[in-house]
Structure 1
Amino acid sequence: MHDGGGRQVRRTYRAAGSAVLLALLFAVAATVAAASGGRTAGAAARTPALYSPDAGFARDMAVHHQQAVEMSFLVRDRTQDEAVRSLAYDIANTQANQRGMLLGWLDLWGLPKVLAGEPPMSWMAPASASAPASASAPASAGGSGAHGGHAVDGVPAKPGALMPGMATKEEIAALGAAQGRDAEVLFLQLMTDHHKGGVAMARGCAVQCATPAERALAQGMVEAQQSELTLMADMLRARGAAPRG
């Protein structure tokens, strides 16, 4: 732990750890609810459609989470800093578990995990949407949705990045080449961007998804990642750095 602001970082880290635990509890509850719902009468009528927010969120967030897991494993092997390694472990563990749930739901619904021609984020309605949606086709003709390739809730997709918040191949390569403090700072900056995009996407599902279990999981993601954003800002400050942009 670096000296500057270390005590505050430790306090924030404990709070973030509690939020991660809550997110995992949401995940377990969501799995049980989904499994129970599948055995009730009329479950088929509640199965999300191919282009629904429920299915689109599951597909997109599974991809988004996979990159967070990759970045976490990269930094774990490039620093000896206990706080960064612990944060990376928590992110990798939590998001790998959540990714498994999202892909499992797609299997349960009989829907593909990858949909050719579906632009990322096309399931998201405009920011003014305030009720769950049940779309059965892409948001517009030709398959380009309201947010595909553009900003989501104020979070832009960088040139070369698949979705808002995601790192580019060049940024992943830079993280893989960094060591020590440089790796710590770059990881915290990239993961800050990543979490901002993830929070925006999860908020969209919390409003638009029709499956209660998936909405609960999305809300758990929002709360955990917002807490981790506070933690990462403190950790960057302790290293004489700041989030990018």
Structure 2
Amino acid sequence: MRHAQAGWIAGAAAALLVAVGGITYAVAEDGGSDTGAPSADSADAGFARDMAVHHQQAVEMSYIVRDRTDDEEVRRLAYDIAQTQANQRGMLLGWLDLWELPKVSAAPMDWMGMGGMVSGEDGALMPGMATDTELDRLGRLNGRQAEVFYLQLMTDHHRGGMHMAEGCADRCTVEVEKRLARGMVEGQQSEIRLMADMLKERGAKARS
């Protein structure tokens, strides 16, 4: 199991490096911008910071469930989510580097006018994020129970992520970032449908 996990992590790291390598080209292609880099309080910067944190939790949950079940369908989904979101997270952090902006948000979701609406209680800093208590529970479950809880948590996570990505598609000004956000919405919609079918196969359904 440890050897397999090491290979999985190495694959995710390789994908991340490829993504980061393409960042400079993508941003330059976006027009090099007469207006310069986005400001620290812009939607572009806010989305990049917050979605990087949001994605990191999805990667974490996917690594957890991979070690809690032998079900190949769930393990394959977890691998795909971890790869995709680690890749996208690398792009978001790379843009913040290029823009010379902070990577940590003092007020999560402020860029969407939701700064006071997300309490951050028990580690859930943004819409759809699992709490620390829920992550701890996922790490204690095994087999079918772990699969169902992961699929429920990730469905909530994707719904929250889609809400944020739609916000960027509406508010962001850097075209390459808007394209990434729109792609996130499409990809996560597809995965939500897949997870609904997987939950049904296991005699369960999404939490809301």
Given the two structures, how large is their TM-score scaled by the length of structure 2?
0.85
- AA of the residue aligned to 1:147: M
Identity fraction in percent: 64
Alignment partners' CA distance in 2, 1:158 and 1:184: 26
**Contact 1:120–1:163 at 8 Å: present in 2 too?**
yes
Q: CA-to-partner distance for each residue in 1:142-179, whole Å, 9 max, x for gaps? A: xxxx212527xxxxx78431111000000000000000
Alignment partners' CA distance in 2, 1:159 and 1:241: 27
Partner SS, residue 244 of structure 1:
coil
**Contact 1:158–1:164 at 8 Å: present in 2 too?**
no
**Contact 1:48–1:54 at 8 Å: present in 2 too?**
yes
Paired residues for 1:84-99 under 5 Å: 84-99=74-89
- AA of the residue aligned to 1:208: R
Match of 2:189 in 1: 226
Q: CA-to-partner distance for each residue in 1:34-86, whole Å, 9 max, x for gaps? A: 13347x4xx36231001000000000000000000000000001111111000
Match of 1:34 in 2: 27
Match of 1:150 in 2: 117
Change (3 A) 1:197 1:175: same
Match of 1:176 in 2: 139
Match of 1:215 in 2: 178
* 2:110 maps to 1:122: yes
Gaps of 5+ in 2: 1-15
- AA of the residue aligned to 2:147: E
Q: Whose radius of gyration is greater, 1 or 2?
A: 1
Match of 1:15 in 2: none
Partner SS, residue 123 of structure 1:
helix
**Contact 2:30–2:175 at 8 Å: present in 1 too?**
no
Given the two structures, how large is their TM-score scaled by the length of structure 1?
0.72
When the two chains are superposed, the root-mean-square deviation of aligned CA atoms in Å is: 2.0
**Contact 1:149–1:163 at 8 Å: present in 2 too?**
no
Gaps of 5+ in 1: 1-23, 125-145, 152-156
Change (3 A) 1:149 1:197: farther
Paired residues for 1:53-202 under 5 Å: 53-115=43-105, 118-124=106-112, 146-150=113-117, 159-160=121-122, 161-202=124-165
- AA of the residue aligned to 2:75: R
